[in-house]
Amino acid sequence: MDKKKIILVSHGKLSAGMIHSIQMIIGENEDVSSMGMMPGEHYQPMVDAVEEKLKENPDTQYVVVADLMGGSVCNGMTSLLHYPNMKLVAGMNMGLVINLVLSPGVLSDEEINAKVAEANAVNQRIQPEALTEGGSGEEDFF
Protein backbone atom coordinates (compact mmCIF):
# COMPACT_ATOMS: atom_id res chain seq x y z
CA MET A 1 0.00 0.00 0.00
CA ASP A 2 1.25 3.43 -0.82
CA LYS A 3 -1.47 5.87 0.31
CA LYS A 4 -3.63 6.45 3.37
CA LYS A 5 -7.16 7.83 3.55
CA ILE A 6 -9.15 8.54 6.71
CA ILE A 7 -12.92 8.04 6.67
CA LEU A 8 -14.91 9.32 9.64
CA VAL A 9 -18.21 7.53 10.23
CA SER A 10 -20.83 8.47 12.77
CA HIS A 11 -24.40 8.72 13.87
CA GLY A 12 -25.81 12.00 12.55
CA LYS A 13 -23.53 14.86 11.59
CA LEU A 14 -20.74 14.27 14.12
CA SER A 15 -18.23 13.13 11.49
CA ALA A 16 -18.96 16.11 9.21
CA GLY A 17 -18.59 18.44 12.19
CA MET A 18 -15.32 16.75 13.12
CA ILE A 19 -13.90 17.51 9.68
CA HIS A 20 -15.00 21.13 10.00
CA SER A 21 -13.35 21.39 13.42
CA ILE A 22 -10.05 19.75 12.48
CA GLN A 23 -9.81 21.99 9.41
CA MET A 24 -9.75 24.97 11.76
CA ILE A 25 -6.50 23.57 13.17
CA ILE A 26 -4.76 21.75 10.32
CA GLY A 27 -6.44 23.21 7.23
CA GLU A 28 -8.19 21.32 4.47
CA ASN A 29 -7.01 17.81 3.73
CA GLU A 30 -8.26 15.81 0.76
CA ASP A 31 -7.37 12.53 2.49
CA VAL A 32 -10.18 12.88 5.07
CA SER A 33 -13.84 12.28 4.34
CA SER A 34 -16.96 11.66 6.39
CA MET A 35 -20.19 9.72 6.32
CA GLY A 36 -23.11 10.02 8.71
CA MET A 37 -26.12 7.82 9.36
CA MET A 38 -29.15 10.07 9.77
CA PRO A 39 -32.24 9.27 11.88
CA GLY A 40 -34.36 6.61 10.22
CA GLU A 41 -31.48 5.41 8.05
CA HIS A 42 -29.59 2.13 8.21
CA TYR A 43 -25.80 1.84 8.38
CA GLN A 44 -25.57 -0.56 5.44
CA PRO A 45 -25.29 2.15 2.72
CA MET A 46 -22.22 3.53 4.52
CA VAL A 47 -20.72 0.06 4.76
CA ASP A 48 -21.38 -0.50 1.06
CA ALA A 49 -19.76 2.85 0.15
CA VAL A 50 -16.63 2.06 2.18
CA GLU A 51 -16.46 -1.43 0.71
CA GLU A 52 -16.58 0.04 -2.79
CA LYS A 53 -13.58 2.25 -1.97
CA LEU A 54 -11.69 -0.71 -0.50
CA LYS A 55 -12.25 -2.76 -3.65
CA GLU A 56 -11.52 0.07 -6.10
CA ASN A 57 -8.30 1.14 -4.35
CA PRO A 58 -6.55 -1.95 -2.97
CA ASP A 59 -3.24 -0.07 -2.72
CA THR A 60 -4.76 2.58 -0.44
CA GLN A 61 -5.01 2.06 3.30
CA TYR A 62 -8.36 3.18 4.71
CA VAL A 63 -8.41 4.05 8.38
CA VAL A 64 -12.09 4.21 9.31
CA VAL A 65 -12.73 6.08 12.54
CA ALA A 66 -16.15 5.38 14.07
CA ASP A 67 -17.83 7.54 16.65
CA LEU A 68 -18.77 4.89 19.20
CA MET A 69 -17.52 1.40 20.08
CA GLY A 70 -20.49 -0.95 20.01
CA GLY A 71 -22.67 1.48 18.07
CA SER A 72 -24.45 0.30 14.94
CA VAL A 73 -22.17 2.32 12.64
CA CYS A 74 -19.01 0.78 14.10
CA ASN A 75 -20.56 -2.67 14.27
CA GLY A 76 -21.50 -2.45 10.60
CA MET A 77 -17.94 -1.51 9.64
CA THR A 78 -16.56 -4.62 11.35
CA SER A 79 -17.92 -6.65 8.43
CA LEU A 80 -15.15 -5.07 6.29
CA LEU A 81 -12.21 -6.01 8.49
CA HIS A 82 -11.32 -8.93 6.23
CA TYR A 83 -10.04 -6.43 3.63
CA PRO A 84 -6.25 -6.07 4.03
CA ASN A 85 -6.44 -2.30 3.35
CA MET A 86 -9.04 -1.65 6.09
CA LYS A 87 -8.28 -0.52 9.64
CA LEU A 88 -11.07 0.36 12.09
CA VAL A 89 -10.78 2.58 15.15
CA ALA A 90 -13.65 3.39 17.53
CA GLY A 91 -13.98 6.41 19.79
CA MET A 92 -13.58 9.42 17.51
CA ASN A 93 -12.13 12.58 19.02
CA MET A 94 -10.28 15.56 17.60
CA GLY A 95 -6.88 14.65 18.94
CA LEU A 96 -7.06 11.15 17.51
CA VAL A 97 -8.27 12.31 14.10
CA ILE A 98 -5.65 15.05 13.82
CA ASN A 99 -2.91 12.62 14.84
CA LEU A 100 -4.01 10.03 12.28
CA VAL A 101 -4.31 12.62 9.49
CA LEU A 102 -0.92 14.22 10.15
CA SER A 103 0.93 10.89 10.41
CA PRO A 104 2.74 10.42 7.11
CA GLY A 105 2.14 7.38 4.96
CA VAL A 106 0.53 4.07 5.67
CA LEU A 107 0.21 3.19 9.36
CA SER A 108 1.15 -0.14 10.91
CA ASP A 109 -1.10 -1.76 13.50
CA GLU A 110 1.41 -0.74 16.16
CA GLU A 111 1.34 2.89 15.02
CA ILE A 112 -2.45 2.96 15.05
CA ASN A 113 -2.46 1.41 18.54
CA ALA A 114 -0.02 4.09 19.70
CA LYS A 115 -2.24 6.88 18.27
CA VAL A 116 -5.25 5.43 20.09
CA ALA A 117 -3.26 5.19 23.33
CA GLU A 118 -2.10 8.82 22.96
CA ALA A 119 -5.68 9.98 22.39
CA ASN A 120 -6.91 8.05 25.42
CA ALA A 121 -4.14 9.46 27.60
CA VAL A 122 -5.30 13.04 27.14
CA ASN A 123 -8.94 12.33 28.03
CA GLN A 124 -9.17 13.55 31.59
CA ARG A 125 -11.57 15.19 33.96
CA ILE A 126 -10.31 18.65 34.85
CA GLN A 127 -10.80 19.48 38.52
CA PRO A 128 -10.43 22.93 40.10
CA GLU A 129 -7.62 21.67 42.32
CA ALA A 130 -5.51 20.86 39.27
CA LEU A 131 -5.68 24.46 38.15
CA THR A 132 -4.19 25.76 41.39
CA GLU A 133 -1.80 23.00 42.44
CA GLY A 134 1.58 24.34 43.28
CA GLY A 135 0.40 27.52 44.90
CA SER A 136 -0.20 30.66 42.90
CA GLY A 137 -2.09 29.10 40.01
CA GLU A 138 0.11 31.08 37.64
CA GLU A 139 1.89 28.01 36.30
CA ASP A 140 0.95 26.80 32.87
CA PHE A 141 -1.79 24.20 33.36
CA PHE A 142 -0.65 22.14 30.39
Q: Are 60 and 1 in contact (CB under 8 A)?
A: yes
- pLDDT above 60 for 64: yes
Q: In this predicted structure, what is the pLDDT of residue 129?
A: 82
Residue 28 DSSP one-character state: -
Beta carbons within 8 Å of 86's beta carbon, 6+ residues apart: 50, 54, 62, 64, 80
What percent of the chain has a predicted confidence (pLDDT) above 70?
93
- pLDDT above 90 for 131: no
Cβ atoms within 10 Å of 26's Cβ, excluding its own: 12
Cβ atoms within 10 Å of 23's Cβ, excluding its own: 12
Beta carbons within 8 Å of 49's beta carbon, 6+ residues apart: 35
- Residue 61 pLDDT level (bands cut at 50, 70, 90): very high
